[in-house]
Amino acid sequence: MVHNRYLLQWVQEVAELRQPENIYWCNGSKEEYHALMRQMVEKGTAIPLKKRPNSFLFRSHPSDVARVEDRTFMSTVSRDDAGPTNNWIAPNELKSTMVNLYRGCMRGRTMYVLPFSMGPLNSPFARFGVEITDSPYVVCNVHIMTRVGNKVLNALGSSENFVRCLHSVGVPLSPGQKDTAWPCRPVEQKYISHFPEENLIWSYGSGYGGNALLGKKCFALRIASFMARKEGWMAEHMLLLRLISPEGRCYHLAAAFPSACGKTNLAMIQPTIPGWKAECLGDDIAWMHIGPDGRLYALNPETGFFGVAPGTSWKTNPVMMQTLWGNTIFTNCALTDDGDVWWEEMTPELPEHLIDWQGQDWTPASSRKAAHPNARFTVSITQCPALSPDWDNPEGVPIDIIILGGRRTTTIPLVFEAYSFEHGVFLGVTQSSETTATLGQVGNLRRDPFAMLPFCGYHMGDYFAHWLNMGTRLGNKAPRIFYVNWFRKSPDGRWLWPGYGENSRILKWMCERVENKVEAIATPIGLMTSLEDLDLRGLDIPSQDLRELLRVDESAWRTEVKDIERHFAQFGDRFPEELRKQLKELRERLGMH
């Protein structure tokens, strides 16, 4: 029985508007998950995979394959509070539009009420949500990605303090009408709307990923970042990793990278340096707070991985490949003739025949991709063989190092350290990456502060000020901040650094800097390592390549400064003066007057 009157009243209001055929309260049991999956198999939406136990393949509609940034809205009373990086619509106007779309949108469908927790239930830092959806696919994914069901209801008790998450695919069914395998609306009718001042998320028209699994980017980043600023903590788009030295010392790292920059690979790194070990704590989101000892602590609010499949392989990420042995939901991957999934770069050799992500025959002669570039897997974090025993520690883990980075073929060296926490915030604010196919034209430079550009729930100028404020509160206990670039190329287009497990050599240098075991070289952009201080044993890289990886191209950096100035200008009078001071100091170090 549900006794929370706030929740009961809200569910009743939603049902009256949406007019579902049934209302089902999700209990979070394994039996519930399997029953919903059987239902989707019978309907033809889910394809069981013979090769992987309890695993299923889904194919979405071609118009519903990724997050849609231009259909994602931040609705605050004042337009200024949303800031220049968010799509803003006034709350009354947006709600009026969406209420009309929601009216009767669940006719002929079941309305699922799914209580969930972001963060361990016994953690003081957990936050609760309830998602109402008409998609069993969404329910099954949220089962994997968060803690769900009766245990959450019990923890919530009679409190009204939960994020209200409304979702619908937006396709009502008339009596006797046959449903489609993947119901959704055309792109221009999709809405992913956030009302941070009301702890409210309304999503309509998409059944895919972050548009529909509302605990993920919508709650855990956009709404949580707004909450965190108000409450004095941080919700960040960061992986969490524990490195263990041969002496048994544990270092905890949080790292922010834009998409296609190796975030999940780093979260599951297998160090190539003898004696060093790594444990995964999370691959996507970190909630960070200041602990009783004055240090910064982080926890991963999720319980699963919702990862990009193409490019994941035994070479790039063997730990993830082991994680996917079974109990996995695959979306928009290709299907092999023997009942397994396949995606580009998964195997060195191409299969002779596949059924592609749209259900069509595919051979190596086909001109199209077999899997969609944004094909995904959803799998429990507990299947990860490199999982840290502290992954669900209710207090989190103390952060020693924050890493920033992006995909840059020139200009940015392999690694450098910020001069101070404030300088580190400057590096985060200016963070950049060359765009990949998923983000528009390949090779364009996109500034993506702290990899939060699509996910910050309020004015980014205020967000930068919050980072600076956290640094002030942390004082000399603040983590050290480093910037990395695994993607630098030679003038003739070769990758200069092997990446993957070899990145542990750079992480080791960071740990040695934390321990003050190695000196650093002051440069105009930050503190650099000497070649002698990098552990390169067993690595065969030409010395000229190593020199190029660590070269500070001052001329290129002077061009970079001009782009940073343009970037800063968009944030207006909410932009912190301390960061303008950091830019002035960089100009001076580069000899620009």
| 356 and 408 belong to one structural domain | no
* Main-chain dihedrals φ then ψ at residue 236, nearest 5 degrees: -125, 150
Q: What is the pLDDT of residue 456?
A: 98
CA distance 292 to 295: 8
Whether the predicted pLDDT of 442 surpasses 70: no
Residue 591 token pair: 């000899």
Residue 41 pLDDT: 98
Residues 274 and 309 in one domain: no
Cα separation, 494 vs 500, whole angstroms: 16
Instruction: State the Cα–Cα distance between residues 136 and 359, nearest whole angstrom.
Output: 21
Q: What is the pLDDT of residues 101-147, one digit of tens each?
A: 999 999 999 999 999 999 999 999 999 999 999 999 999 999 999 99
**Percent of the chain topping pLDDT 70:** 99
Give backbone dihedrals phi and psi of 348, rounded to 5 degrees, phi first: -65, -35
Average pLDDT over residues 35-51: 97
- Beta carbons of 510 and 482 less than 8 angstroms apart: yes
Distance of CA 536 to the CA centre of its chain: 31
pLDDT bracket for residue 543 (50, 70, 90): very high
Nearest-angstrom CA–CA distance, 159 and 157: 6
Q: Identify whether residues 99 and 177 lie together within a single domain.
A: yes
Amino acid at 472: T
What's residue 439's pLDDT?
A: 46
Q: Is the pLDDT of residue 437 over 60?
A: no
Both 159 and 245 in a single domain? no
Select from 360, 383, 406 the last residue of a domain.
383
514 found inside a domain: yes
Q: Which CATH number covers residue 316?
A: 2.170.8.10
**Residues 286 and 315 grouped into a single domain:** no
In a domain, 551, yes or no: yes
In this structure, are strands 22-25 and 110-118 parallel, antiparallel, or unpaired? parallel
pLDDT in tens, 242-289: 999 999 999 999 999 998 899 999 999 999 999 999 999 999 999 999
Query: How far apart are alpha carbons 375 and 380 in whole angstroms?
Result: 17
Tokens of 336: 């092999």
DSSP 325: T
Report the alpha-carbon distance of residue 482 to residue 479 in Å, rounded.
10
Residue-wise pLDDT tens digits, 88-97 = 999 999 999 9
Residue 294 shares a structural domain with residue 315: no
Is 55 within the bounds of a domain? no
The radius of gyration of the chain's CA atoms, rounded to the nearest angstrom, is: 24
pLDDT greater than 90 at residue 1: no
Residue 484: name the closest of 401, 587, 562 by CA.
Answer: 401
Task: Report how far residue 32's alpha carbon sits from residue 26's, in angstroms, rounded to the nearest whole number.
Answer: 8
Active site residues: 261
Domain that holds residue 274: 236-303+390-589
pLDDT of residue 436: 62
φ, ψ dihedrals at 584, nearest 5°: -60, -40
User: What pLDDT is attached to residue 444?
Assistant: 84
Backbone angles phi, psi at 48, to 5 degrees: -65, 140
pLDDT band at residue 210 using 50, 70 and 90 as cut-offs: very high
Mean pLDDT of the chain: 96
162: how many CB neighbours lie within 10 A of its CB?
A: 20
Q: Is 58 domain-assigned?
A: no
| CB-based contact 431:424 (threshold 8 Å) | no
Q: Is the pLDDT confidence value at 443 over 90?
A: no
Residues 458, 429, single domain; the answer is: yes
Q: Are residues 242 and 326 in the same domain?
A: no
Residue 544 and residue 562 share a domain? yes
Is the pLDDT at 438 greater than 80, yes or no? no
- The answer on 298 and 183 residing in a single domain is no
Residue 504 neighbours by CB distance under 10 Å? 20
Strands 200-204 and 163-168: parallel
Q: Say if 57 falls within a structural domain.
A: no
Residue 311's pLDDT band (cuts 50, 70, 90):
very high
Whether 362 is covered by a domain: the verdict is: yes
Q: What percent of the chain has pLDDT over 90?
A: 97
Q: How many structural domains compose the chain?
A: 3
Alpha-carbon span 356 to 334, nearest angstrom = 4
pLDDT number for residue 441: 52
Same domain, 350 and 415: no
Average pLDDT over residues 49-64: 98
Residue 52 belongs to some domain of the structure:
no
Whether residue 450 has pLDDT greater than 60: yes
Question: pLDDT, tens digit, for every residue of 57-99?
Answer: 999 999 999 999 999 999 999 999 999 999 999 999 999 999 9
The CATH code of the domain that includes 582 is 3.90.228.20
pLDDT at 20 over 90: yes
337 & 277 share domain:
no
Domain-terminating residue out of 232, 265, 295: 232
The domain boundary residue, chosen from 232, 249, 269: 232
